[in-house]
Structure 1
Amino acid sequence: MEQVDCVIAGAGVIGLAVARHLAAKGLDTLIVEAADAIGTETSSRNSEVIHAGIYYPQGSLKARFCVAGREMLYRYSTERSLPHRRCGKLIVATDEAQEPALATIRANAVACGVGDLRVLSAAEAQALEPALHCTKALLSPSTGIIDSHALMLTLLGDAEENGAMLSLNTRIVSGRIEAGRIVLQTMDTTSDEGFEIATSRLVNAAGLGAVALAGSLDGFDRRFLPTLRYAKGNYFSVAGRAPFSRLIYPVPEPGGLGVHLTLDLGGIARFGPDVEWTDTLDYRVDPARGERFYAQIRKYWPELPDGSLQPAYSGIRPKLSGPGEANSDFVIQHAATHGIAGLVNFFGIESPGLTSSLAIAEHVARILAPERSITTGTRR
């Protein structure tokens, strides 16, 4: 039986960020990923936005880790020359009835430590984005975009530089909690060969499969398993270039932030996500859903041409709240919650998980290896 200091279940952005941090502390770290590549689910199927930390409830983990993680991510991206841009975002009221919501959003942002939002009149907003329609707006200069794939590859490279290993096509079938260790039964999905791994630390960063993985551990109290729901978000792109240089977000809607306009690093616009509750991991985008996008987008971009939207991609968010319910916070379980030494479960890590990843990793490293310091010379 192989023995390692730490097993990371899931090679998405959270798992890779944690692996990087633990490996830098000198822990023998194994990253286990069921897919044939890193970051194939939630970590790559999103808007690739570096969020400022505007919307989340004061004191929540989302607010705390987003605000801290944003600056860590900008600094890391600059140091490592990762493709990114602090392009800014406009949150827009498209009629006077929405304007009080902007004041509420700004007050919440200030309470969470985001003090750089500017209130813009319609004329000021349109001076920045001439094609925009709004009655009032908030400018967030700290919002940006990043190449999530480049980020994950760099996190993996840092982890491997400090001795971490990646095992793709490897699924954790089950596990058992023993005195002082967790024994995992794994399977190679290409050969069906099984093998056991023992570890003193297990980081469950399995994303959409995190609840199922925790539930497969013999000895884990099922009372600590939340109900997971899938919220599919569909994205559409526009033929040609949209006439915007900043991200455009409408006032938020229940379950998400509305059909917003984001940009990739090449300047191509994407619209979405919407909210489609589902029970299956089906990433196909129904072209007919695009018809609903037109009316929403034209509230802030009236000149959107007919027939210009094309299905782009979709992502599925692991949500702990359902339709009509308030958005849940991140859940980061460790021994103080469930009593299992060395076990950390990540549940409901949706947006702003990408932005928060480095801050979350630092937090978890303090929990799992409080006595260890970063290895001398390691890039932080």
Structure 2
Amino acid sequence: MTDAPRHTALDALHRSLGATMTDFAGWDMPLRYGSERDEHLAVRTRAGLFDLSHMGEITLTGPQAGQALDHALVGNLSALAVGRARYTMICDAQGGILDDLIVYRLAEEGGHPKYLVVANASNAQVVLDALTERAAGFETEVRDDRDAYALIAVQGPASPGILKSVTDADLDGLKYYAGLPGTVAGVPALIARTGYTGEDGFELFVAPADAEKLWQALTEAGADAGLVPCGLSCRDTLRLEAGMPLYGHELTTATTPFDAGLGRVVKFDKAGDFVGREALLAAAERAESAPPRKLVGLVATGRRVPRAGFSVVAGGEVVGEVTSGAPSPTLGKPIAIAYVDAAHAAPGTDGVSVDIRGTHEPYEVVALPFYKRER
């Protein structure tokens, strides 16, 4: 007998909007409200509104909260300034990625540092268990705050103007990967300038009881700007175009941050030991001297769409595997992210194709990301 999917505080609202719902990591979530292509293009050109309340929030507080995170994660979180955020990862002892995370340093609580760790929905329990275990030797409390927050994102070039109309917070002074407490539409919120779309935007952490009021206020504020509700389907094509990795696809326990081209998140120079350090040192050396495979972008010359698990072929030999693929609404052609042998990873490499159900479809190797917004 399987557990029934969980529902976010906005579940009834999504259904009233006619959303197509789907089970995602044990949550009933909106996949799309209408056309996923229209939702995607709205975020690229105007703005989109997302319910991300399935994400997992974990709070660490106490005198040694920063040191505990430095030991548990690959980044240097104790050096993070109050009000800033950092993209990082939690790895196992072999250097394999357990999850990729965003960590926010919040204002002190009881005179001690306070951090908010945001994990992917599918890995929230794994991350919570690992942090609890790894923090055991430190003077810190690890708190499961998954039920304490709803998370609403407004993303796209019109998002700053929309949010400004319902908050007095200084959004102009809020840098990318920063967060500040404020009030949005009369609702207390952590306002973070973060996102997973490749566009400017904000993620708003609020109490679940306030989620519907905030969603409705943002909907009204964004009506003239062309804001639309968006589901997980377009979130996936948006992040794919932006070259952002997805756990379970580009990132797994079988890959290290260096395999994924994200070795920059590993901070070997921080004080103290951290889980996976020795294995990651070896992975860094391997990536530098003789990388087995590299993560690349692939753009179709035809119309057939590659999917995760499809083989990448060159000279009649399998040289890689697609990790994510979809039609790109922005480029107007199918795209994919794949791990390929280093010999075939250079942008412009000829003779590369994807085996799509027995037919070798030609693809061009390109550097990631496929899309980068103008700043």
Same fold (TM over 0.5): no
Greater fraction helix: 1
TM-score (norm 2): 0.23
Greater fraction strand: 2
RCO higher in structure (CA 8 A, sep ≥6): 1
